[in-house]
Structure 1
Amino acid sequence: MPEEPKIAVIDDDDSLRVALVDSLSSRGFGADGYSSGESFISTAANRSYDCVVTDIHMSGMSGLELVQWLEARGSLIPVILVTANTEAILETAGAAGLLRKPFEIDDLIKCIENAL
């Protein structure tokens, strides 16, 4: 039996982060939540993820800065960005996907499946 894909969800909005982790877990993904990019970095060194889902606009390290941090370390983990922002420039952020809030969980799952 194949192992469930492991997803890191990074968002400083507690209610959204918990809802996404719960929804992904109920759909057969292994999901962990982090309240910041810094929290993910300090914890993820000991864990292996197949995909990262991160908000772009957070206090401290932004989702775009996290993408740059991962790329600088040669990471091949696909990153899906989520945002309430509608700036077109975000389309070129170098991520595996971009979802605009609010979005449906099925749209996120499609992005994750495409990224994997």
Structure 2
Amino acid sequence: MVMPLLVSIVDDDESVRESLPDLIKEFGFAVLAFASAQEFLTSSSLPRTHCLILDVAMPGMSGPELQKELIRRGYRIPIIFITAHGDAREQAHLLSSGAVECLLKPFSEAQLLKALSAALPFDQA
């Protein structure tokens, strides 16, 4: 049996951490949610994560700061940023920094599926 790919969510918004995993599980992935960048960095899930859905603005370490820390540590995890406060310039900057996608909250199921398709090999899901 093939294990489903792990998608980790890092968002300080509890409602996102509660609702988004259900949707991603419907797409056939395993999902874990974390309330902070630090919580994710210290978890045993870090090396098993195939894709990271990451809030841009969080207390403590921001999403872009976590992205830089992961690169510094040698992790090349595809990142889909999500933000409630994005503008076109910020989105362009995040994409040029290596993100797969930057979705504005609230985003549609179709937008999320398209971003996950770009980040992950769906035939293994």
Name the TM-score, length of structure 1 as normaliser: 0.90
- Tell me, what secondary structure is at the counterpart of 2:106? coil
The alignment covers a number of residue pairs equal to 116
User: Does 2:74 match 1:74?
Assistant: yes
Of 63, 88, 111, 2:115 maps to: 111
2:123 equivalent in structure 1:
none
Q: Amino acid of the residue matched to residue 106 of structure 2?
A: P
Quick one: distance in 1 between partners of 2:47 and 2:18?
19
Alignment of 1:1-116 (within 5 A): 2-44=2-44, 47-87=47-87, 88-93=89-94, 94=97, 95-116=99-120
Quick one: distance in 2 between partners of 1:110 and 1:26?
14
Segments of 5+ residues of structure 2 without an aligned counterpart are 121-125
Segments of 5+ residues of structure 1 without an aligned counterpart are none
Q: Amino acid of the residue matched to residue 84 of structure 1?
A: A
Task: Give me the CA root mean square deviation.
Answer: 1.6
Name the TM-score, length of structure 2 as normaliser: 0.84
Percent pairwise identity: 33
Asked if the contact 2:40/2:46 (under 8 Å) is kept, the reply is no
Regions of 4+ moved over 6 Å: none
